[in-house]
A and B are shown apart, each in its own frame.
Chain A
Amino acid sequence: MLSLKSCVSKNEKVPWRIIEGEAILVDVDKGEVIHLNEAGAEIWSSIDEEKSVDEIINHICDQFEVAKETAEKDTLEFLDQMIEKGMVECLKSP
């Protein structure tokens, strides 16, 4: 279960590109293309093994005019979906 203290990383096998602030990710095995809007692309770009989910949320609050509560809910939901799709891996959950 993902929590604010969890650390997540991008699946290194996923080819991706940022194009004008939006992101395109490719699931090579399934032949699927995922298109992320600016907010999704910002979360995706800020995913880093060294950062906790809470730090990613703080980064999103810095980048967009959004309440911490909303950013927390949206980021957790987004990361859960990406974990389910195999695009993101949860490294440690305290």
Chain B
Amino acid sequence: MPQKSLNVEIAGLCAEIFAEDSKVFAYLGSRFRNFLSESEPDFDIDLREKPKSLNIGVELLNELANMPQATTLIQKNHRYSFVAKTDSTKEIGFIDVERKRCLLYELFKDSRALLFTDFLLFCLYVFLGSSNGFLLHACGVVKDNEGYVFAGPSESGKTTVARLSKGLTLLSDECLCIKESDNSYRVYGTPWGKGGNKFAKIKNVFFLKKGKAMAFKRVKPAAAASRILRDASFGALGQQITRNILNSVAKMVDEVPCYEMRFSVNSPIWESISDLY
């Protein structure tokens, strides 16, 4: 069957995705519609239907389809195996960093690719990490052409910040890409969470903390690096990529002022941020 391809570009990193099934192709085109690109691909992903020889039981199949973060990577030299956390013996995909080739045996339900978005996220972790960029669980907002990063674990208030930022450009309320460019750091929107395909130079990073009164506290660079790394999910990426991410984060916190931001659901966060300067 002839393969079709489409290009998805996130944070300047372009993936050419090949798929055989036209319904799957249409699903990908819709899912990543804001991130379609005509740029030269940096790597490719071959999306294939699971072969019969790859025997995955119903239980594991359901787990992969329904449980968030049910998959992980296992590194061996320049190649990462994409496997279920509960059964690492069955490779359901791989990322070959050297050849810039990726393959995923996808599980389809009503022509919806169940694992692809997770797999693409892992591809970005790997290829961004190789080029000193990283992904961060954070909310990103652009105001007056400047990027603001609000980092924190689940339930720290990323969605609340997005809600309190009406009228401004939301990059994502869940996951951002951060990359060095021209001696400054840029924050990019991703297809994960609500947001759009935009980017901006980073003005500040805020670590979210829920509280009653609005307050800011400057965070020293080492503490900021530690907090960013905790939300950067570099697990399973291996030593070299982790070193790249650590170096990149260390440089960023040296240049970008970081604060802890206490706020409540009704806090006037943008007025308070303006008062910081």
Option from B222, B233, B242, B254 in Cβ contact (under 8 Å) with A15: B242
Give the docked Cα–Cα distance between A78 and B150 (Å).
33
Quick check: is A90 within 8 A (CB to CB) of the other chain? no
Option from A16, A17, A21, A35 in Cβ contact (under 8 Å) with B223: A35
1/0 contact trace for B243-271 toward A, CB 8 Å? 10011001001100000000000000000
Option from A20, A22, A24, A31 in Cβ contact (under 8 Å) with B246: A24
Chain B: minimal CB distance from A56 (Å): 21
Option from B220, B225, B239, B253 in Cβ contact (under 8 Å) with A28: B239
B230 touches A20 (CB 8 A): no
Chain A: minimal CB distance from B244 (Å): 9
Chain B: minimal CB distance from A51 (Å): 24
Quick check: is A26 within 8 A (CB to CB) of the other chain? yes
Option from B225, B230, B234, B237 in Cβ contact (under 8 Å) with A19: B225
A20 touches B247 (CB 8 A): no
Chain B hits for A15, CB < 8 A: 239, 242-243, 246
Quick check: is A8 within 8 A (CB to CB) of the other chain? no
Give the docked Cα–Cα distance between A49 and B234 (Å).
29
Q: Which of A1-44 contact B (CB under 8 A)?
A: 13, 15-17, 19-24, 26, 28, 30-31, 33, 35
Known: A19-B254, A26-B234, A28-B239. A33 touches B229 (CB 8 A): yes
Chain A hits for B236, CB < 8 A: 31
Give the docked Cα–Cα distance between A89 and B246 (Å).
22
1/0 contact trace for B214-240 toward A, CB 8 Å? 000000111101100110011111110
Give the docked Cα–Cα distance between A92 and B50 (Å).
52
Name, among B226, B229, B242, B247, the residue most crowded by chain A CB atoms within 10 Å (CB to CB).
B226
B230 touches A33 (CB 8 A): yes
Known: A15-B242, A35-B223. A24 touches B229 (CB 8 A): yes
Chain B: minimal CB distance from A88 (Å): 17
Which of chain B's residues has its CB closest to A37's CB?
Answer: B222
Chain B: minimal CB distance from A92 (Å): 26
Known: A15-B243, A19-B250, A33-B229. A28 touches B238 (CB 8 A): yes
Which of chain A's residues has its CB closest to B253's CB?
Answer: A19
Chain B hits for A28, CB < 8 A: 234-235, 237-239, 242
Chain B hits for A31, CB < 8 A: 233-236
Which of chain A's residues has its CB closest to B231's CB?
Answer: A33
Chain B: minimal CB distance from A75 (Å): 20
Option from A13, A19, A30 in Cβ contact (under 8 Å) with B222: A19
Chain A: minimal CB distance from B257 (Å): 14
Interface residues of B (CB under 8 A from A): 220-223, 225-226, 229-230, 233-239, 242-243, 246-247, 250, 253-254
Extra contacts besides A28-B237, A31-B233, A35-B222 (8): CB < 8 Å: A15-B242, A17-B247, A19-B225, A22-B220, A26-B229, A30-B235, A31-B234, A33-B230
Nearest 6 Cβ contacts at the A-B interface: A31-B235, A22-B222, A35-B226, A19-B222, A15-B243, A33-B229
- Cross-chain pairs A/B with CB under 8 angstroms, 12 sampled: A17-B225, A19-B225, A19-B253, A22-B222, A24-B226, A24-B246, A24-B250, A26-B234, A28-B238, A28-B239, A31-B234, A33-B226
